[in-house]
Amino acid sequence: MIEKVEMFIDACSQNKILRFLLFALSIIGVFGLILFMNIKTPLLGDDFTYQHIFDTTQKIHSFDDIIQSQQNHYYTWGGRVVVHTIAQLLLMLDPLTADIINSLAFILFIALIYLHINGRKSFSVSLFLGVFLLIWYLEPFGETILWITGSANYMWGSMLILAFLLPFRFYRNGEYKPVQNYIVALIMFVFGTIAGCTNENIAAAMLLMIVLFFMFYRKNKWKIPVWVYTGFAGALIGYFIMIIAPGNAIRAEGTETSIFHIIYRLFRHTQALLNNIGILSLVTLVLFVLQKKKNQNKDVIYYALIYVIATLSAIYVMVFSPAFPERAWFGVYALSIVALGILAVNTNNALIRNIKYSFIILGLLALIFNLFDIYKELNRVEAIHKNRTSLILESKTEGKSTVEFVKYETANKYVVEDPTYSAALLTIFYEIDVRYKK
């Protein structure tokens, strides 16, 4: 079966039109699936918080309200003003429009990982599907891609960082006209400031990656364009704007930062690394060895190393944070996928080729069989939330002061679980006392 798939792909690769059509069909199929899942995923948890001006009960009605909200957020909670602005913009929209935009963003996220792996090369259906499947199986999907607030924080934040880093990945000692050089430098400074102010651990990894790209350019004796310096300066400024937010200091009160706690977190994060990306890291290591043994393109090894080092830095920078929730691994997974992908697409080995196609075939089959359970669970949770909304509106109409729900749980990572704090947020949003039954 693998041989037949390989023959089919080889035949398609010779026909540009057929290759493009298969690529387009893959994108449409993935978009349709994610749009359906987005539509089925209800608003919950912090989605209700960010429909208000932060730390108030006043609902958002305009972009000016969002600016006020982010000022409050910055001074009382944290510095991720860029991604929380995105969350509030999405939550201002009609739900279907927000779901379409969020689904398009997911396709763009896959495309950015694809480009970081493949550079400017031609369409590859197998690479697109491989990236999608790795995201599907690795990422905490519901919390970081389907849930609006989680998506803005993690998928959108990682997407901005990957987009900002693309010129560094593509640069090949090109010449720039003076005016063009300064225009690009200004754009990169602004873009860098935005990207730096997205997510703590991945933004830190981004800064290190820029330094590593710079070292790569110097190693090859390439000219360093002005935008490399302005991009780094903007990213550094954005990162510090996020980190020094007064809200961070307020939330960090009482957090233990002793050597003992840092060493303890170091061991815990290493254990999590082995659990979460141990197999992926092993495959990456094997590909490194194959590349070195065959003395293949050294640039490929260096590029892959940049993403491996970035992956590790995004993990271990979290030793200074009291918590490292699963959703904060989102960008870590993305960087590790790029590192693996760069090596995989540049390793000319029959065994590796068979493994790649086997993964895609088995991954797609497992996904198809898994979809029925996901569909049932999405329907169950959607029905629960529709019932809740109806009960709340009915209770308000009848003049009741309290409404009670049973808290639901799910073991399906493609469905967002009911946060423990949802009742309090629903109380504020619907202006009626919402409680969970004991």
Residue with tokens 């006043």: 58
According to the model, what pLDDT value does residue 14 have? 63
pLDDT at residue 20 tops 90: no
Q: d(Cα 163, Cα 125) in Å, to the nearest integer?
A: 21
pLDDT(426) > 80: yes
Q: pLDDT tens-digit profile of 307-324?
A: 999 999 999 999 988 889
Is pLDDT above 60 for 300?
A: yes
- The structural domains of the chain, with segments of one domain joined by +, span 171-253, 257-348
Q: How many CA atoms lie within 13 A of 403 on its CB side?
A: 24
Half-sphere exposure of 50 (CA within 13 A, CB side): 28
Which residue matches tokens 């608003």? 43
- Give, in order, the Cα–Cα distances in Å from 404 to each of 46, 388, 389, 410, 426: 19, 9, 12, 20, 11
| pLDDT tens digits along 344-371 | 998 888 888 888 889 999 999 999 999 9
Question: What are the distances in angstroms from CA 84 to CA 55, 137, 218?
Answer: 14, 26, 37
Please determine, for residue 294, whether its predicted confidence score (pLDDT) is greater than 80: no
The pLDDT of residue 2: 55
Rounded mean pLDDT of 155-178?
90
pLDDT in tens, 102-123: 999 999 999 999 999 988 666 7
pLDDT value of residue 355: 87
Mean pLDDT of the chain: 91
What per-residue confidence (pLDDT) applies to 255?
Answer: 66
pTM, two decimals, is: 0.93
**Which whole number is the average pLDDT over 24-37?**
96
**pLDDT score of 185:** 93
Q: According to DSSP H, which parts of 146-199 are helical?
A: 148-150, 157-170, 178-196
Report the alpha-carbon distance of residue 218 to residue 214 in Å, rounded.
Answer: 6
Between 68 and 10, whose confidence is greater?
Answer: 68
Is 60 exceeded by the pLDDT of residue 1?
A: no
| Predicted local confidence at residue 382, as pLDDT | 94
Instruction: Decide: helix, strand or coil at residue 415.
Output: coil
Supply the pLDDT for residue 256.
Answer: 66
In total, the chain counts a number of residues equal to 438
